[in-house]
Each structure stands twice: as structure tokens, then as C-alpha cells.
Structure 1
Amino acid sequence: MAIYEGSFTDTTSLKIGIVIARFNDLITTKLLSGCLDCLKRHGVDISESSNNLDIVWVPGSLELPIAAKSIIKKSKYDVLITLGAVIKGDTSHYDVVVSEASKGITKVSYENNIPIIFGVLTTDTIQQALERSGIKNNLGWNYALQAIEMGSLIKSLN
């Protein structure tokens, strides 16, 4: 019997792309900070001269899937991380953005056989988003851990 799992030990060869929404950047920049901290502490070269990490900024969460699809064509990534924050308001816009962003990201992942970590916060209030981006816990760290695990797993299976 073979058992396959992602590894956190050899991260130096992982090629990672991060696609991040500028909308709600008070939140998304905190998520990015947590994400980069985790990657660095796990041995991923995040320096500006690194060839192992690319960061792409887009206007909002709805644009995450098309940018993810586009950067996959640019380079051979082992894993992508999408970061965004959609905060519920008084209109149905929230439901549309969350639904279409998640469906689009999933579709790009399946079509390209590349794990894409869905790091889009979907909260009812700005307070909840702040808590999840650093006040209580920075989920950016968790998204980076998921990326390392899934990137190494899929790389070993291919």
C-alpha cells in the first residue's frame, strides 16, 4: 500500500503564485503578510530576486480566477494562492462575488491540474475580517501552509 502526503521539509523548489485582490486591502495586505511570513519560515525564498514566488494584484475578488488562469500560462507553478476579502453588505452583490469567485477559482484549478488555495475571506462584518486577518488569527498563514502541503503533494504525484 502506498500512502502519499504533502511535505513541509523540502520547500525550496516549490514555485508559488499569489493572486491578491486590492479591494478591502486593509484586510488582504494583512493576509499577504501572514502568508509570506509562513512561506519564509518554511524555507521558501520570498526575496524580490526569487524565481520561486510571483505576486499578482487584481482589483477585486471577482478578478481572481482570470488572473490565476493567466499566470498559469506565464510560468510553471506548483501551487497558487488566491487572497481576497468579501464582506457582506446590504445588497446581494456579496453572494454573486463569492459564488463566481469560488466557482471560477475551482474551475481554473481543475482545468490546469494545479492546486489553488481559496484564501478569500467571506465574512458578515469588517470586524470578523479583521479578526481573521491578524487581530486574533491570521488565516494567511494557514493558506500558505495549505499551499506548501498541496504543492508538494501534487508535485510528488505527477
Structure 2
Amino acid sequence: MATFEGRFTDSSSLRIGVVVSRFNDLVTAKLLSGCLDCLNRHGIDTSAASDHLDVAWVPGCFELPIVAQQMARSRKYQVLIALGAVIRGDTPHFDVVVAEASKGIASVARDTSIPVIFGVLTTDTMQQALERAGIKSNLGWNYGLEALEMGSLMTSLSLS
């Protein structure tokens, strides 16, 4: 029996793409900061001159899937991270955006066999979003960690 698990040790060779929604950037910038901190502390060069990390900004969460798809199809990345924040309002717009973003991101991963970490917060209030982006804990860190684990796992599966 073979058991496969992702590791967090030698991550420095991973090439990671991050797609970030500009809408609710008070929240998404904090998620990105936490994510980059995690990646940096695990050996990924996050400097502007990095050959191992690219960040693409999109207008909103609805646009995350198409840019993630373009990045995945380039075959430059072993893993992608999609970051966004959708905060419930008084209209059904929240439901449409969340549904399409999540289906689109999942579709990219399935169609390209490149993991796409779903880092889109879906909250009822701005306060809840801010708590998840750094006031209490920064889920951006978790999304970075998930990317490292999935990148490592997919690499070990392709070598077996």
C-alpha cells in the first residue's frame, strides 16, 4: 500500500500563482499579506524579483476563475491560490457571485489538474471578513499552507 501526503519541507522549487480580487481590497490585501508571509517562511521567494511567484489582481471574485484558468493553462505553475471576499448585502448578488466563483474555481482545478486553493471568504458582515483576514487570525496563512501541501502532494503523485 502506498500513502501519499504533501510535505512542507522543500517547497522552494514550487511555482505558485495567486489571483486576488480587488473588490473588498481592505480584506483581500490582508489575505494576500498573510499568504505571502506563509510562503516566504516556507522557502518561497516572495520578492518582486521572484521566479517562483506571480500575483494577478482582478476586479472582483467573479473574475477569479478566468484568470486562474489562464494561469493554469500556461503550465507555469504547480499550484494556484484564489483570494477574495464576498460579503452578504441586501440583494441576492452575494449568492450569484459566490456560486459562480466557487464553481468556476473548482472547474479550473478539475479541467487542468492543477490545484487551485479556494481562498474566498464568504461572510455576512465586513467585521466577520476582517476577523478572518487578520483581526483574530489570518486565513491567508492557511491558504498559503494548503498551496504548499497540495503542490508537494501533486509532485509526489506524478513521481510515483
Considering the TM-score relative to the shorter chain, is it more than 0.5?
A: yes
Query: What's the counterpart of residue 128 of structure 2?
Result: 128
Check conservation: 2:72, 2:108, Cα contact below 8 A: no
State the alpha-carbon separation in 1 of the partners of residues 112 and 142 from structure 2.
23
1:55 corresponds to: 55
Could you tell me which runs of 5 or more consecutive residues in structure 1 were left unpaired when the two chains were aligned: none
Q: In the TM superposition, what is the alpha-carbon distance from 1:75 to its structure 2 partner?
A: 4.0
Q: Count the aligned residue pairs.
A: 158
SS across alignment from 2:80:
strand
Residue 125 (structure 1) shift: 0.2
Q: Does 1:90 align with 2:90?
A: yes
Aligned to 1:148: 148
Q: Which residue number corresponds to residue 106 of structure 1?
A: 106
Letter in 2 for 1:73: R
Work out the CA distance in 1 between the residues paired with 2:34 and 2:142: 8
Query: SS of the counterpart of 1:121?
Result: strand
State TM-score, norm by structure 2.
0.97
Please give the per-residue CA displacement for 1:106-146, whole angstroms capped at 9, x wherever unaligned.
Answer: 00100000110000000000000000000001000000000
Structure 2 letter corresponding to 1:115: P
Aligned to 1:16: 16
Match of 1:37 in 2: 37
User: Which ranges in structure 2 are unaligned for 5 or more consecutive residues?
Assistant: none
Secondary structure of 1:68 counterpart: helix
- CA distance in 1: counterparts of 2:32 and 2:54, whole angstroms: 12
Measured against aligned partners, the alpha-carbon deviations of 1:61-96 in whole angstroms (never above 9, x if no partner) come to 000000001112334211000000000000000000
Give the Cα–Cα distance (whole angstroms) in 2 for the partners of residues 81 and 155 of structure 1: 17
After superposing on structure 2, the runs of 4+ consecutive aligned residues of structure 1 that deviate more than 4 Å are none
> Aligned partners of 1:8 and 1:14: how far apart in 2?
11
Task: Provide the aligned C-alpha RMSD in A.
Answer: 0.7
- Once residues 52 and 27 of structure 1 are traced to their aligned partners in structure 2, the CA distance between those partners, rounded to angstroms, is 24
1:116 aligned partner: 116
